[in-house]
A and B are shown apart, each in its own frame.
Chain A
Amino acid sequence: MNTYLYLARRVLQALAVILIVTVATFCLLHALPGGPARGILGPQATPEQIAQFNHAQHLDQPLPVQYGAYLGRLLHGDLGSSYTLNEPVSQLIVQRLPKTLVLTVLSALVGLLLAVPLGMWQAVRRNKPVDYVITTLSFVAYSTPVYFLGLILVLVFSHILPWFPAQAPQGDSLAQVFADPAGLVLPVVAGAASVVAVFSRYMRAATLENLSEDYVRTARAGGSRRGAILRRHVFRNSLTPVVAMLGYYVPVLFGGALVVEQLFNYPGMGLLFWSAAQSSDYPVLLGCVLVIAVATVVGTLLADIVQRIIDPRVKEGRA
């Protein structure tokens, strides 16, 4: 299929997905008991005060009308204002998103750089001690809650061994974040652990499948050695399914950031989301969900494009 036509179609699909996500979140948020007024005005607020707040924020209008108004403002880039922080949501996101991106992208990169070779190594040494050890470790890493893992990391590598700070870099600008790389180590490791666990499993399975393919036998019959076959053929063939999975892993990464940022007191999207959820700050919550939805859709789109680059058959619609 023509690449431009394909891209246009995929972008339209992405927009539709994002629209559906906003509808779903909008409905869910308004179905929550209590509402934002109670959260913001506190338990002492009188019903009159709450009614006044609701009227001022147009929360007393029918839901579809509220959603329509929200969507209208969204089209103008207006995500509303935070109830609690008295700042436009868009400004909050512009401030916080780059930090979360730094954290998640670094976690994903570090995780993949470990997971891919580990998975291939396991496949080559299938059912040998190495395979069992890595399998066990990845199950442990996968089943340990990020929060718990983070605490352990802080305990061991910050308190017992004073190697890294227990706090992520503070400050509002990215320059300040990068000025303190040591502070990033523990948050990134905490975020990367599950990536390593999950993607080494995918890579192991994909490599095993490819090792039993006929083309490996053909390459061996041509005198290619094992290392060369792995490098030249199996690696790329095994990477395609893994890349496809990566797109779907974006929301999981953001979910992990939620916990990691809270734990290391890192002022990114996760922390923003966390505090907004606690104070029922609807505009902020909606804004965050929107960002995660966009990130997910963009992630899958990027994964598809990378797949088209790796695998020529995808382009022809033959894979």
Chain B
Amino acid sequence: MTAAERSTAAVADPILDLDDLGVVFSSETGDVHAVRGVSLHVRPGETLALVGESGSGKSTVALAAIGLLPGNARATGRARLGATDVVAAGENDLARLRGRTVSMVFQEPATALDPLTRIGDQIAEVIRNHRPLSAREAAQAAIELLRRVGIPDPGRRASAFPFELSGGQRQRVVIAMAIANDPTLLIADEPTTALDVTVQAEILDLLRGLAAETGTGVLLVTHNMGVVADFADRVAVMLQGEIVETGPVEDILLRPSHDYTKRLLAAVPRLAVAEPGEAPRPSAEADAGTESATSGALAKFAEAGGSAESADSGGSATSGQSAESAESVVDLRAVTVAFGRGRGAVRALDDVSLSVRPGETVGLVGESGSGKSTAARVALGLVRPTSGTVTLFGSDLRRVSVRARRSLRSGVGVVLQDPVASLDARMSVGECIAEPLRVHRRRMSSKERQARVADILDRVRLPRGFARRTPRELSGGQRQRVSLARALVLDPRLLVADEPTSALDVSVQEAVLQVITELQDDLGFACLFVSHDLAVVQNFAERVVVMRAGRIEEQGATEVTLLHPGTDYTRRLLAAVPVPDPVVQRRRRAERQAEAAQARPPGTAPAGNDGGPGPETPGGTVPGDGPGDGPDRDGSNTGGSGVNA
């Protein structure tokens, strides 16, 4: 948005005006005040970000603004949308408003669309809810909308079912439905949380472009400060149902005044970025590929992997190598995992070699479908590789007996992503933690077991009394510490953590990561840390392995690989991460978009072809078919690229 636009926005009447909004949920245990005394407004063309941690009430405010609160919720106060008070309006008035004056983009694109209805029909339905068009005209308009949101070949894609689309494309369809009738207010509730970073960047670009194009006001609900910095003009911070601070994005993110905002921002893991000019020129690096000279560690690893491979094919191992694998706690050599057979087979891992040395933390990063979780499962011995060898604590997993494999496994602890699903709800916390002892230390008396459980609870800084509670009574962060306690109860030499903090709020994430770090210092276990969050990995891991489509893209020391990446892919991945500093982020976005524009052959518009984890391939769209190619584009910080850059 230009300065001129911003000043006109400032005088325009707000399109959404919340005044002393309250929301009460009635539950069996009594009333819960989810939102109290919230007053805020959104003017045409501006984006207000509503931020806060889980349970802060930010999504409830968003739902109240469009009148979609669940049945057991009661709203008080006023929520003026245009001329209507949403709080007082009846269902009929609201139905007239929704999809025309106000519309919404949801968090989970996987479930937001009717699985049995073609996407074109779902968009046409929203159009025909508000405009007197024939079915044929609406279908045509739906195709136009699909084109606008950057779906390649929209005429054909309109008859696709949601399951035939990738997550990013589905979110584009949801956005197409939201903008179908040019609403004055767009509510976006965590619109990119379920998406990979590169797709997130595209979706944010798309939303930003569409909003700027039509002067639509945006109420953005998010927990991600990077997204806020990338998108918002103003920010309102929520804590326990109340707004604690409101202001322009620069003020809130760079000079917060409220204590809570300061704490929240301090807990956000920050991606260290190379200063402009410090980074090697992309063009010079492009040909170097994985053999990048910037990463010495990488070169060493490529060498080790290469020699192991040749040794494998030769059928003999050199002494140097066996020393190398004896050194590492886990060692994957040329591992390939294929699921299925014949033509339908999927290569989840393709020639993957990596190792974790004692005491070291290795971050395994990549987008969804890159194979990072599969690699972790191979390391755990849970997935048998189709080819290649896995060495755990110096023993080849294929060559040892079942009993020996079991005892090897007792040296590995596991923490998984979902703190709710990974603990048995019918067991007490103490039983959950003690279970590995029952399996692997059969001779232990129950007294010794209890003592061990109490000791490990101390270690993860949970009260000993928690042993008698059930996982249900604990918060997400506490549950994840219980998982950690269970993983560490056998004094493992290796901890495999698969997205251990991605379901947690940033402040809780920080605490959990800190506990892991301290315990690692004390106990000296190695850690294979799987994560999609590059900032977390950068702060947490010594070495990093970047995966893409089942292959290792590059690996090396974290400070080298994630600061001066050797491959284009890693560079794109890093460039797509929004940083929680609006000034820096604006510059990064401009650079990213300029680079993307450069990478495209001239005359082609980018398209939302985010089907795979690979880079965006330019779609077959012709110039001039998208609004992004029109004149009078806002060129101040969108780098002059289209809405769907």
Contacts and interface: CB of A to CB of B under 8 A. Distances in A.
Interface in B62-120: 66, 68, 91-92, 95-100, 103-104, 106, 108, 111-117
Contacts of A312: 116, 161, 163
B103 A221 contact: yes
B98 A222 contact: yes
Contacts of B180: 222
What are the nearest 3 A-B pairs in CB distance?
A: A223-B99, A222-B126, A222-B99
B443 to A, nearest CB: 48
B129 interface: yes
A222 B103 contact: yes
Contacts of A21: none
Interface of B: 66, 68, 91-92, 95-100, 103-104, 106, 108, 111-117, 122, 125-126, 129-130, 161, 163-164, 174, 177-178, 180
Contacts of B95: 220, 223-225
Interface in A91-140: none
Nearest to A233: B114
B161 A313 contact: yes
Contacts of B68: 217, 220-221
- Most chain A CB within 10 A, of B104, B114, B129, is at B114
A215 interface: yes
A237 B116 contact: yes
Interface string A204-230: 000000000111011111111110100
A214 B106 CA distance: 9
20 contacts: A213-B111, A215-B113, A217-B112, A218-B114, A219-B114, A221-B98, A221-B103, A222-B129, A222-B177, A222-B180, A223-B98, A223-B129, A228-B125, A237-B115, A237-B116, A311-B116, A312-B116, A312-B163, A313-B161, A316-B163
A282 B267 CA distance: 79
A76 interface: no
Range of interface residues on A (Cβ < 8 Å): 20 to 34
A316 to B, nearest CB: 7
A194 to B, nearest CB: 29
B99 A221 contact: yes
A222 B111 CA distance: 15
A9 interface: no
A318 B110 CA distance: 13
Contacts, number: 85
B163 A214 contact: no
A218 B113 contact: yes
A316 B130 CA distance: 34
Interface of A: 213-215, 217-226, 228, 232-233, 236-237, 240, 310-313, 316, 318
Contacts of A232: 114, 117, 125
Contact of B97 (A214, A223, A226, A236): A223
Given A221-B66, A224-B125, A232-B125, A214 B100 contact: no
Contacts of A236: 116-117
A129 B11 CA distance: 52
A220 to B, nearest CB: 6
Nearest to B174: A218
Given A313-B163, A316-B163, A223 B126 contact: yes
A311 to B, nearest CB: 6
Nearest to A1: B344
B116 to A, nearest CB: 5
B60 to A, nearest CB: 14
A214 B117 CA distance: 14
Nearest to A312: B161
Contacts of A219: 114, 122, 125
B163 A224 contact: no
Contacts of A222: 98-99, 103, 125-126, 129, 177-178, 180
A215 B112 contact: yes
A222 B180 CA distance: 9
Contacts of A221: 66, 68, 98-99, 103-104, 106, 178
A22 B108 CA distance: 50
B160 to A, nearest CB: 9
Contacts of A224: 95, 99, 125-126, 129
A311 B68 CA distance: 28
Nearest to A236: B116
B106 A217 contact: yes
B115 A214 contact: no
A236 B117 CA distance: 9
Contacts of B111: 213-215
Nearest to A214: B111
A250 B116 CA distance: 26
A214 B125 contact: no
Given A217-B106, A312-B161, A313-B163, A223 B100 contact: yes
Contacts of A218: 104, 106, 112-114, 174, 177
A312 B118 CA distance: 10
Given A218-B112, A221-B106, A222-B177, 17 more contacts: A215-B111, A217-B68, A218-B113, A219-B122, A220-B68, A221-B99, A221-B103, A222-B99, A222-B126, A222-B180, A223-B96, A224-B126, A226-B91, A228-B125, A237-B116, A313-B161, A318-B163
